């Protein structure tokens, strides 16, 4: 019997969180091995487990997968969350790549210098309101269906809702003029697997704080 | 009869170059519309062609596709450059993502201040030699085949060749410790469609110069 997927990362959201969301949404139980020190990371590298010396790494189906996008693509395909054909996949990819761009800005915020923080937050707010949220609202408006692509749940919906929660933590007012995004957020949050993931005690990680950043600096030496 | 794909970008490599490589490798003729003014760019945005207001944009098979990776994945699958099954696809994704990480650093360099640019380029050479090239040398060594994945020409090979040539432009001897990559470079360069693309007069673009940097900075206003 195939073992559960095993996630290697430190105990924080970082670049592993979208992978946790996707597995959780697919109803797939997984294990986590947390890096707690620089030595833990060195050991993984020395054992030859990290193709490019980096985490995230996910052990799944006899493989040691690295590169978040490759991992997400694999999981989405395996659990039928990637559209029904090539054209739907292209749309899903286009949407999730846009999401990844905004996600990256928020992800890196805790690492920026204090004097730059306000400028970066303003940039995120501007891009969210003027570029990203309008694009997704428009997609939902164009077909009036419950899901972004092909009238069926896909990784695009799961990743968008993760992003909506992420943005909400930064500034809850940003979603206020986007009714269809709000409705999607509610609808997807109520899917049984995600409802469970959104409850305390799940593998979902809390927002990144100063302590997490310190831990990351220690483990990854930057 | 299907129309030729149409590429909308600046007259330079940037984020469109990998797409040109893929189309060329597949022997697919394509048209290009070059952005030369801010007005042209704003027109594309106003006409609703750019989902997130950004280029690259590729018009293909009735879709207005943006987001480089979405475009690359679509074309790779369409031209049978994406492996025969999910396991081959994830390997191609991992290799391509690693390669694209390296190339992203090279792409960024021309737009940085001189001191940062020096640092970035030094880092590119260092990472190419210590992190990326050793991985691919080992992959080729372990299976002894002509191509990176599944004994068949794929997107991974095309991306790898593009990356090798870009790094060699920065440091001509970068492959000196990698005999299998050297042989790989020659072999892939001799594939008829690739050979044609590498000749003068093809749609391959030259390395960015000061004029290109100015043009892009003016049009994108940064």
**B50-63, pLDDT tens digit by residue?**
999 999 999 999 99
pLDDT at A2: 66
Q: What is the ipTM of this complex?
A: 0.95
Give this prediction's pTM: 0.96
When CB atoms are compared, the residue of B61, B73, B135 closest to A93 is B73
- Angstroms from A135 CA to nearest CA on chain B: 6
- What are the chain A neighbours of B49 within 8 Å (beta carbons)? none
Contact A89 B67 (CB under 8 A): no
Contact B89 A73 (CB under 8 A): yes
Rg of the Cα atoms in chain A: 18
* Ramachandran quadrant class, B14 (left: phi over 0; alpha: psi -120 to 50; beta: rest): left
State the residue for tokens 């990819």: A93
Rounded to an integer, what distance in angstroms lies between the CA atom of residue B209 and that of residue B205? Answer: 11
Residue of A nearest to B133 (CA): A52
pLDDT at A201: 96
pLDDT at B80: 98
pLDDT at B1: 52
Contact call for residues A83 and A149 (beta carbons, < 8 A): yes
% of chain B residues with pLDDT over 90: 98
Q: Which regions in chain B score pLDDT beneath 70?
A: 1-2
Residue ranges of A 73-102 with Cβ closer than 8 A to chain B: 73-74, 77-78, 86-87, 89-91, 93-95, 97-98, 101
If one counts every other C-beta atom within 10 angstroms of the C-beta of residue B15, the result is 20
Tokens coding A221: 């030496």
pLDDT at B222: 84
For chain B, domains (ranges, CATH) are 86-197 (1.20.1050.10)
* Phi and psi torsions of A61, nearest 5°: 50, 45
When CB atoms are compared, the residue of B65, B71, B86 closest to A74 is B86
């Amino acid at each position: 019997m195939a073992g559960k997927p095993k996630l290697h990362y430190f105990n924080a959201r970082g670049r592993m969180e979208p992978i946790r969301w996707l597995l959780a949404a697919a109803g797939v139980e997984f294990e986590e091995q947390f890096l707690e020190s620089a030595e833990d990371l060195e050991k993984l590298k020395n054992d030859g487990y990290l193709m490019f010396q980096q985490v995230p790494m996910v052990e799944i189906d006899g493989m040691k997968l690295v590169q978040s996008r490759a991992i997400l693509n694999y999981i989405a395909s395996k659990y039928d969350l990637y559209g029904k054909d090539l054209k739907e996949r292209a749309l899903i990819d286009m949407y999730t790549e846009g999401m990844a761009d905004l996600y990256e800005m928020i992800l890196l915020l805790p690492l920026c210098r204090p004097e730059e923080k306000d400028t970066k937050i303003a940039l995120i707010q501007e891009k969210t309101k003027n570029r990203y949220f309008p694009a997704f609202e428009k997609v939902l408006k164009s077909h009036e269906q419950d899901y972004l692509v092909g009238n069926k749940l896909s990784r695009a919906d799961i990743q968008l809702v993760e992003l909506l929660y992420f943005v909400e933590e930064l500034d809850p007012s940003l979603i206020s003029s986007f009714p269809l995004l709000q409705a999607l957020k509610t609808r997807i949050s109520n899917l049984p697997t995600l409802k469970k993931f959104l409850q305390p005690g799940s593998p979902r990680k809390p927002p990144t704080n100063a302590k997490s950043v310190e831990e990351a600096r220690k483990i990854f030496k930057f | 009869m299907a129309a030729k794909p149409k590429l909308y970008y600046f007259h330079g490599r940037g984020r469109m170059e990998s797409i040109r490589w893929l189309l060329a490798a597949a022997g697919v003729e394509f048209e290009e519309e070059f952005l030369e003014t801010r007005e042209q760019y704003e027109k594309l945005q106003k006409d609703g062609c750019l989902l997130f207001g950004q280029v690259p944009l590729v018009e293909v098979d009735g879709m207005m596709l943006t987001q480089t990776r979405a475009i690359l994945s679509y074309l790779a699958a369409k031209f049978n450059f994406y492996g025969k099954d999910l396991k081959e696809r994830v390997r191609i994704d991992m290799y391509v993502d690693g390669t694209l990480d390296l190339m992203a650093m090279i792409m960024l360099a021309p737009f940085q201040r001189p001191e940062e640019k020096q640092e970035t380029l030094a880092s590119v050479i260092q990472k190419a030699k210590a992190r990326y090239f050793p991985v691919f040398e080992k992959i080729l060594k372990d299976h002894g085949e002509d191509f990176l994945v599944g004994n068949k020409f794929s997107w991974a090979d095309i991306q790898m060749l593009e990356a090798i040539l870009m790094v060699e432009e920065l440091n001509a001897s970068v492959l000196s410790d990698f005999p299998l990559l050297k042989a790989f470079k020659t072999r892939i360069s001799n594939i008829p469609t690739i050979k044609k693309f590498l000749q003068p007069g093809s749609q391959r673009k030259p390395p960015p110069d000061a004029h290109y940097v100015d043009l892009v900075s003016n049009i994108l206003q940064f």
